[in-house]
Structure 1
Amino acid sequence: MLFGSFASQRTTKAATESADRPNVIIIFTDDQGYGDLGCFGSTTIATPNIDRMAAEGHTYTSFYTACSVCSPSRAALLTGSYPKRIGMHQHVLFPKSDYGLNATEHTIADHLKSLGYATACVGKWHLGHHPETLPRANGFDSYYGIPYSNDMNHPANQNKPRMASDELWADQESCVTLWQTPLIENETIIELPVDQRTITRRYTDRAIEFVTSNQDQPFFLYLPHSMPHIPLYVPADAYDPDPQNAYKCVIEHIDAEVGRLMDTVRELGLSENTVVIYTSDNGPWLRFKNHGGTAGVLRDGKGTTFEGGQRVPCVMWGPGRIPAGTTTDAFTSTMDLLPTIAALTNTSLPKGTTIDGFDISSTFTSDESPRNELVFYSSRGTLEGIRVGDWKLLAKPKTKNKDGKTTTTVEHLLFNLAEDISEENNRYATEPEIAERLKARMIAADKEITANTRPVWRRTDTAVSK
């Protein structure tokens, strides 16, 4: 088996010392909206396996990513830091990008590997495709997946078809005739182009293999699925030719594969010592209509700082640690996962490095969260808003072109999310004191983050090995 040698790389002492520490699995989907699960209100998409996780675990209804697009969001999850703090805030990486996540950052994988955990990344990485930035440079023992989004072509991102269309859905073979997206094992391309019809299932096969091979020692599995990012593909047994059901097919296929993985955890007797977290990297790509998802009651979607862009579904499952059948509106974020996992393993994070996450293990049994604010940056890293408590301020630039002249103004929006989750009632004019308080805090928080930004890895840098 691919992962069969991991156990021999861990000492008996380390395995013994880690025996009471939970296994951790993070399932991270791509562009899945707040309204795309049964347990989050969907009446059109059947997700019985994820719904079962929710029934047996804890559902988070006020859970945020740190950005509304892929690369910054993934960087924040793994490092517990705002993307701007680690230089990963300026939109997404492409096949021609010459930078990526710096190996000096302390990731969830780094932390757990230092405790004797077996670590594997299976799925979409999108934090740099150069060897110095791929998963094995960032705490993972192995990697199997695509290095960037499934609508990107190796090596220079040229000659791409339309990213999503009913015609592409009808021609499922297009994934191996029109796209040149690579599949990587560790640092080597093993399939070009990757057959995207089977990739969700193959990710799950590898995930199950990893869990099975490491059932006798602590393990961390990071499973960032490529889907439902467009273009959409599924295996033949999950395919519905009606393009109106394209997105539905993909989510239901993901749900079935989640069920396979969860069944493995249960059948191996690992339930009482495993924590599974299911969430999405950002909101749905609404402009692709039936190829995109829904934000449910939230406003807008991917690429925006409205709630639909960054508030995402989240389910945490951990029998014996996380109460079953419970829901919380506690203010939480993907940035909180690193310190929370450190707390679950009774360990401390390295001193001297500032992060922006909090230990939210208290929210397993309470609606009170240590997080009280979240700074919002645009998809290209521009400061655009802040939430403090129930209040959210947005300062959105608006550019107009008239008579050859370009002018930029700022539209201010203020919402009370406890009363107005859909962001329909702008209170900026009627609550000037609250608006000014949030504006001042937004500027101060961004000033601190900017002053303490850490560098990304760049191709001209000297590679730093861990």
Structure 2
Amino acid sequence: MNWRKTGGLLLGMLVGMNVVGAANEKPNVVFFLVDDFGWGALSSMGSDFHETPNIDKLAKSGMAFSNGYAACTVCSPSRAAILTGCYPGRIRLTDWIAGHKRPYAKLKVPDWNMKIDHERILLPEALKEAGYATSFIGKWHLMPMRQKELMKDHFPEAHGFDQNIGGREWGQPKGRGLFFHPFDMPNVTSNEGDYLTDRLTDYAIEFIDQQQTNPFFLYFSYYTVHWPIMGKPELVAKYEAKLKSGKYNQNNPEYAAMVQSLDESVGRVLDKLEESGLADKTIVIFTGDNGATGSKYCGGLRGSKAYSHEGGVREPFFIKGPGIQPGTSDVPVIGTDFYPTILDLIAAPLKPEQHKDGVSLKPLLLQTGDIEERALFWHYPHYHKTKPYGAIRSGDYKLIEFFEDGKLELYNLKDDLAEESNLADRMPEKAAELLKELEQWRIRVDAQLPTPNPEYDPERGSHGV
């Protein structure tokens, strides 16, 4: 008998039991989703200017995935993928809402979906079925802004959340004070001098206080660090002074101040869990919706938000909780995986007809096994800083296909994480293999493609309206 293997299986069973506990001790779930957060914005991931002790501690106390991805290079599709467990291409919500208009571009953007259909059972709805109280705090940006008559039906409360603090159609703060009072957001009160990240954290702590005996799902979806870049004055002054003391790989005091406020927010929530005796009964997830605005925050990766390369989609991806041993994993994972993973960790039935493009990461988290090797896909049939493209990562290789002219870029991410050496011409068979797999995937999920634009004007193609 292989005692090492048998012992490992027994340990895995015991750990699994510890995750779900008794029926009346379901683990809580706290999900931190950060806006426009680059792979290199944390001090534990390469920044020598930012100070993020609380998030760094969180990363070290759970499983950190070094190949963690957002499902899109911009926000609304990535957020929808987390809540649905489906690729943006499948649900046809493929751009930030309401998207750019480029009427004279070479390709015509498809008639895409600017809302999540109510027929879908979203992650918070699945958790409500399992007896969870659900709270949404922060940025929503999943409302059909060009169909005003439908907007009232697509606030967070209409998609499984018991309460909505701050969520509306905005993709960034647009209140009279922007990141400062007044915020002009649903169910958010404030006073002179209040800072948005701090005020939303107050509501998160209040929600935890109200749920001492109930399992809960806290989905804290930050507006930070989206533009406008506005930090608290005392923190900005701190980083201005720090900048004068030496040379750093990042050099924006306002941005650093926003990152510190984010870190302090995460720390306050984690401290509240500790004080309430809930820390050992809570699954905590931390990730971002897409890359940072500006490659200096993307950890040396090529590109940033709204670009087709790694800087636009590779994200911090941390999960801690009962039975999850600290460690790292290099298995490629993506935002669609959160839905089935959370259900699996709380011992709720999976919903494979809903989270069609996600897989449970529980075996990796509990170190009881592996997940089936698979390819990851991206589909962005829109114009932004990038031109319309699709992409696939399979093993160490990543292929990008640009739809305007069929140009291919092939990279070996193991050897070339910065995507500096295009191998498409040197490895045509590999490029063709991945292109075929990408095309077949688009057929399977019925992804929309852009079409030739009869109004195409080369001189005005990059102009928006």
**TM-score (ref. length: structure 1):** 0.78
Q: Give CA deviations for 1:48-84 in whole Å, capped at 9, x if unaligned.
A: 0011112221211100111011111100011110112
The one-letter code sitting in structure 1 at the alignment partner of 2:320 is: W
Inter-partner Cα distance in structure 2 for 1:174 and 1:207: 20
* Equivalent residues, number: 397
Aligned partner of 2:357 in structure 1 is 356
Inter-partner Cα distance in structure 1 for 2:211 and 2:343: 20
Instruction: Assess if the C-alpha contact under 8 Å between 2:381 and 2:390 holds in 1.
Output: no
Give secondary structure in 2 for the equivalent of 1:59: strand
Instruction: Assess if the C-alpha contact under 8 Å between 1:93 and 1:148 holds in 2.
Output: no
Aligned partner of 2:212 in structure 1 is 215
Inter-partner Cα distance in structure 2 for 1:40 and 1:21: 32
- Residue 391 (structure 2) pairs with residue 385 (structure 1): yes
Inter-partner Cα distance in structure 1 for 2:316 and 2:352: 31
- Residue 419 (structure 2) pairs with residue 423 (structure 1): yes
Aligned partner of 2:129 in structure 1 is 114
Q: Aligned runs of 1:52-451 on 2, under 5 Å?
A: 52-93=57-98, 99-128=114-143, 130-149=151-170, 151=172, 153=174, 182-185=184-187, 198-240=195-237, 242=240, 244-286=252-294, 294-318=297-321, 320-324=322-326, 326-350=327-351, 352-353=353-354, 355-366=356-367, 368-370=370-372, 372-378=374-380, 380=382, 382-397=388-403, 408-450=404-446
The one-letter code sitting in structure 2 at the alignment partner of 1:312 is: E
Inter-partner Cα distance in structure 1 for 2:352 and 2:142: 24
Please report how far the alpha carbon of residue 90 of structure 1 lies from its aligned counterpart in structure 2 after TM superposition: 3.3
The one-letter code sitting in structure 2 at the alignment partner of 1:24 is: V
Instruction: Assess if the C-alpha contact under 8 Å between 2:302 and 2:418 holds in 1.
Output: yes
Inter-partner Cα distance in structure 2 for 1:174 and 1:131: 23
C-alpha spacing 1:34/1:134, structure 2 compared with 1 (3 Å): same
Q: Point out the more displaced range, 360-369 or 428-437.
A: 360-369
C-alpha spacing 1:311/1:410, structure 2 compared with 1 (3 Å): same
Give secondary structure in 2 for the equivalent of 1:409: coil
C-alpha spacing 1:256/1:66, structure 2 compared with 1 (3 Å): same
C-alpha spacing 1:329/1:176, structure 2 compared with 1 (3 Å): closer
Structure 1, unaligned runs of 5 or more: 1-15, 155-159, 161-172, 288-292, 398-407, 454-466
More strand by share: 1
Instruction: Assess if the C-alpha contact under 8 Å between 2:339 and 2:355 holds in 1.
Output: no
Inter-partner Cα distance in structure 2 for 1:138 and 1:17: 28
Inter-partner Cα distance in structure 2 for 1:198 and 1:331: 36
The one-letter code sitting in structure 2 at the alignment partner of 1:373 is: A
Give secondary structure in 1 for the equivalent of 2:200: helix
The one-letter code sitting in structure 1 at the alignment partner of 2:401 is: A
Inter-partner Cα distance in structure 2 for 1:74 and 1:304: 17
Inter-partner Cα distance in structure 2 for 1:415 and 1:391: 6
Give secondary structure in 2 for the equivalent of 1:269: coil
Please report how far the alpha carbon of residue 425 of structure 1 lies from its aligned counterpart in structure 2 after TM superposition: 1.5
**TM-score (ref. length: structure 2):** 0.78
Aligned partner of 1:49 in structure 2 is 54
Inter-partner Cα distance in structure 2 for 1:422 and 1:196: 41
Inter-partner Cα distance in structure 2 for 1:445 and 1:207: 39
Question: Percent identity between the aligned chains?
Answer: 31
Aligned partner of 1:167 in structure 2 is none
Inter-partner Cα distance in structure 2 for 1:274 and 1:452: 39
Inter-partner Cα distance in structure 1 for 2:325 and 2:208: 23
Q: Give CA deviations for 1:397-425 in whole Å, capped at 9, x if unaligned.
A: 4xxxxxxxxxx423211111122111112
The one-letter code sitting in structure 2 at the alignment partner of 1:261 is: V
Give secondary structure in 2 for the equivalent of 1:278: strand
C-alpha spacing 1:196/1:312, structure 2 compared with 1 (3 Å): farther
Inter-partner Cα distance in structure 2 for 1:175 and 1:270: 30
Instruction: Assess if the C-alpha contact under 8 Å between 1:305 and 1:377 holds in 2.
Output: no
The one-letter code sitting in structure 2 at the alignment partner of 1:80 is: G
Inter-partner Cα distance in structure 2 for 1:213 and 1:255: 23
Instruction: Assess if the C-alpha contact under 8 Å between 2:291 and 2:305 holds in 1.
Output: yes
Please report how far the alpha carbon of residue 263 of structure 1 lies from its aligned counterpart in structure 2 after TM superposition: 0.3
Please report how far the alpha carbon of residue 370 of structure 1 lies from its aligned counterpart in structure 2 after TM superposition: 3.2
Inter-partner Cα distance in structure 2 for 1:197 and 1:395: 46
